[in-house]
Amino acid sequence: MEIPYTQLLKITKEYKKNNAGEQYRVSVLSNIIINQIEPFIEYEFQKNGINALITFGNYDNILQDSLENNETDAVLIFWELCNIRDGFQYKANLLSKEEANDTVQKIKSEIDFLIESLSKTKIVIINKFSSLLFNSYFLKKNNYDLICDELNNYLESKILNNFVLIDIDKVIARVSVDRAIELRNFYSSKALYSIDFYKVYSNFIAPIMLSVLGKSKKALILDCDNTIWSGILGEDGKDGISMSSENKKGVVFEEVQTLAKSLARNGIIIGLNSKNNEDDVNSVLRDHKGMVLHESDIVIKKVNWNDKVSNLNEIAKQLNIGKDSIVFLDDSDFEINLVNQYLPEIKTIQVPEHIYQYPQLVRRNFNDFYNIKETKDDLNRIKLYQIESLRVESKSEFGNIEEYLKSLNLEMYVYRNSPDLIDRMAQLTQKTNQFNLTTKRYTVSEIENFVNSSEHLVMAFEVNDRFGGFGVTGLSIVEILGDKAILESFLMSCRVLGRNIEFKFLNEIIIFLGGLGVKNLSAFYNKTFKNNQVSDFYGKAGFKIVNQSEDRIDYVISLDEYEPKILNYINVNYER
Amino acid sequence: MLIMRDKIKNVMALVFEIEPSQIPDSASTSTIDNWDSMNHMNLVVALEEEFNILFSDEEIVEIISLDAVEKSLSSKL
């Protein structure tokens, strides 16, 4: 976040070379020396691909300068209380009631003049008056505070629709008083603010101008598991997830959902992009009592087992919005990095590791959605988008994510009949619902028997990538009868989905069985409510169907005919 | 010593929006057009951040040539 000053100058210079074309003109009027803000405002524009031309009025000449801004796109005004009269931050406190009143009346008429002369300007950004920089130490309100309050009330009551009033105290608070003020330059040359202040301030107000230019974000696309609720729906079940303040884990998710809902109220598109069974998620949206977001708040849903990049592409296409107007929120390193790599124009936000920071992180990004003219139409717009998304026929495109998978440095550790993993393996059979071909549940002692039996092969795997490890997340149990074998269990945690690890694992099992003299391998899929996504897994792996009924498919493959998928980006290790 | 001088020139080039090659060893407020009082403030901030030092009031007034900047910086590092 914190870019050093020289670095910022360098970046801005680079941008300038590349962003030719029309310029957005900003005039800055002030009664202090403010010119140092120039590169910071420029930077905010340039990083959004806009060329800006910043010009400055004369020192302490706001009223005169306000008459000469017909050509400009935006006017930015720093009218500082400390300099409305020379030394006002200390002189204000010795003024008699009459004198104070005279000053206030005088400034009020100047405000009238300013508003009148800028009534035709496209957009005027003006800071509220602030006494904070000089009065933060005082317990009691003094004249300086009172005059400040009165002028602000007046300003607020008088401004026109083309004015945006900035609560500059919020910026000062974010920076801190001591770091926002540049006393050295203030006393020598009336330059009041520090570069730290300019950085934060420019970033704070940029959304106003970006909104005018149609560059605001329009859609917030959310993952589901551990993003809008705590837990994994496919594994923990509808009753096991939580997003309610009645539950310790759910409390932050209720807040995040409410924040998203308030965006929806202001015309922002809320969408879902989640690896889950659509029916399960719909059921939660329909009647989970903790949910704040409901079907009616959600414009578009991509709840399926496709990669999230393809889903985001479809979302942009179906809603007919630019990818650069989408913000995507997800908890997984894998998904966030995938999107960053393939769709860099989409802004991503990752659920923080410390979950208590989550709602505040969402707030920090709220201004991305800033809309200068929020109207009643905004709510209708949600309906329009909903219709639009139904209208456009969706066509799945399979993006080539192989390059990304290569960059992950996937390491797979395979364990055979490992007595150390018995507890974990039993737990996997108990807990895994979605990527589970047969959904056979086993106890610890049953697994122990398999591990010690010469007629069974129990294989498990662990996966690491450059972001970290997932632990033991996959298991297969094979019964071996001479030169025949049968896959009794094949399961994997959904956390490691999307990396083709399941195929690599199957590969390793088959190689090993071949070494044991197995010629034919049978397998079967047992349909449950939750494992629809793997209904064709063995078919994709090259097995042939020998029998098919409504809730079971039987397969077989001759090991001689098995053609392994080439997955060189997964490195296999044995017995870590 | 040369490295220090080049570093200063790079900072100056960024602040004054010119190329480092356009900054002669004899550079001063009277030979560089963009080295006005406003940019002087920016230069001070940039140098302070780049070299992680602070200039005093007196020094800020004195460092109005490349030689003076270099001399002042050398005494601090």
Of A251 and A495, more confident: A251
Whether B41 sits inside 8 A of A189 (CB atoms) is yes
pLDDT of residue A383: 62
Rounded Cα distance between A65 and A44, Å, is: 24
pLDDT of residue A50: 87
* pTM: predicted TM-score of the whole model, two decimal places: 0.76
pLDDT of residue A396: 38
Q: How far is B23 from chain A (nearest CA, A)?
A: 17
- Per cent of chain A over pLDDT 90 is 71
Q: Which of B15, B42, B57 is the closest to A184 by Cβ? A: B57
In chain A, domain spans: 5-212, 219-399, 405-574
**Residues B26-44, buried b or exposed e (16+ Cβ, 10 A)?**
ebebeebeebeebbbbbbb
Which chain B residue lies closest to A37 (C-alpha atoms)?
Answer: B42
Which chain B residue lies closest to A34 (C-alpha atoms)?
Answer: B38
Does A1 have pLDDT greater than 90? no
| Segment A189-204, tens digit of pLDDT | 899 999 999 999 999 9
Q: Which of A6, A35, A195 is the closest to B14 by Cβ? A: A6
For residues A18-32, average pLDDT: 86
Kindly provide the residue ranges of all beta strands, DSSP E only, lying in A14-115, ordered along the sequence.
Answer: 23-30, 51-56, 74-78
Contacts of A30 (CB under 8 A, 6+ apart): A56, A57, A59, A60, A62, A77, A78, A79, A80
Give DSSP secondary structure letters for A203-235.
Answer: HHHHHHHHHHTT-S--EEEE--BTTTBBS-HHH
- Per cent of chain A over pLDDT 70 is 94
Contacts of A512 (CB under 8 A, 6+ apart): A416, A457, A459
For residues A288-296, average pLDDT: 94
In chain B, domain spans: 2-74
For residues B2-23, average pLDDT: 91
Contacts of A6 (CB under 8 A, 6+ apart): B11, B14, B46, B49, B50
Architecture of domain A219-399 in CATH? 3-Layer(aba) Sandwich (3.40)
ipTM value greater than 0.85: no
Rounded Cα distance between A524 and A490, Å, is: 10
Q: Which CATH number fits domain A5-212: 3.40.50.2300, 1.10.3190.10, 3.40.50.10800, 3.40.50.1110?
A: 3.40.50.1110
Instruction: Mark which residues 157-196 of A lie under 8 Å from B by CB.
Output: 184-185, 188-189, 191, 195
pLDDT of residue A380: 58
B19 CB within 8 Å of a chain A CB: no
pLDDT of residue A177: 97
Of A48 and A177, more confident: A177
| Segment A512-537, tens digit of pLDDT | 999 999 999 999 999 988 888 899 99
Closest by Cα among B6, B64, B70 to B35: B64
| Segment A232-244, tens digit of pLDDT | 999 899 999 999 9
User: If you search the block for the tokens 């800055």, which residue do you land on?
Assistant: A28
pLDDT of residue B3: 86
Does A392 have pLDDT greater than 60? no
Q: What is the mean pLDDT of chain A?
A: 90
Does A368 have pLDDT greater than 70? yes
User: If you search the block for the tokens 């977001």, which residue do you land on?
Assistant: A293
- Which fold would CATH assign to domain B2-74? 1.10.1200
Contacts of A122 (CB under 8 A, 6+ apart): A72, A73, A74, A162, A212
Contacts of A189 (CB under 8 A, 6+ apart): A33, B37, B41
| Segment A110-130, tens digit of pLDDT | 999 999 999 989 899 999 999
For residues A419-443, average pLDDT: 91
pLDDT of residue A398: 35
Q: Which CATH number fits domain A405-574: 3.40.50.970, 1.50.10.20, 3.90.79.10, 3.40.630.30?
A: 3.40.630.30
A35, A38, A54: which to substitute to probe chain B, counting the most B Cβ within 10 Å? A35
Q: Do A219-399 and A405-574 fold alike per CATH?
A: no
A508, A565 Cβ separation under 8 angstroms = no
A17 CB within 8 Å of a chain B CB: no
